[in-house]
Amino acid sequence: MNVALPRSLNVDQYLAWAERQEQGKYELIDGVVSSNRRLGATRR
């Protein structure tokens, strides 16, 4: 589900938001939600 987020979240707001997500891995960095996937990472 794509939901517009406020510019900055605290931990409680992030946890409530994260529980409603159907899929994906996210982390909170300095109040901003970030996808937890590594761009450009390859397996060897």
| Whole-number pLDDT of residue 40 | 54
| Whole-number pLDDT of residue 37 | 67
Who wins on pLDDT, 16 or 37? 16
Mean pLDDT value of segment 16-37: 87
| Whole-number pLDDT of residue 3 | 67
SS3 annotation, 1-44: CCCCCCCCCCHHHHHHHHHCCCCCCEEEECCEEEECCCCCCCCC
| Whole-number pLDDT of residue 22 | 87
| Whole-number pLDDT of residue 39 | 55
**Which residue(s) pair with 32 in the sheet?**
29
pTM of the predicted model, to two decimals?
0.62
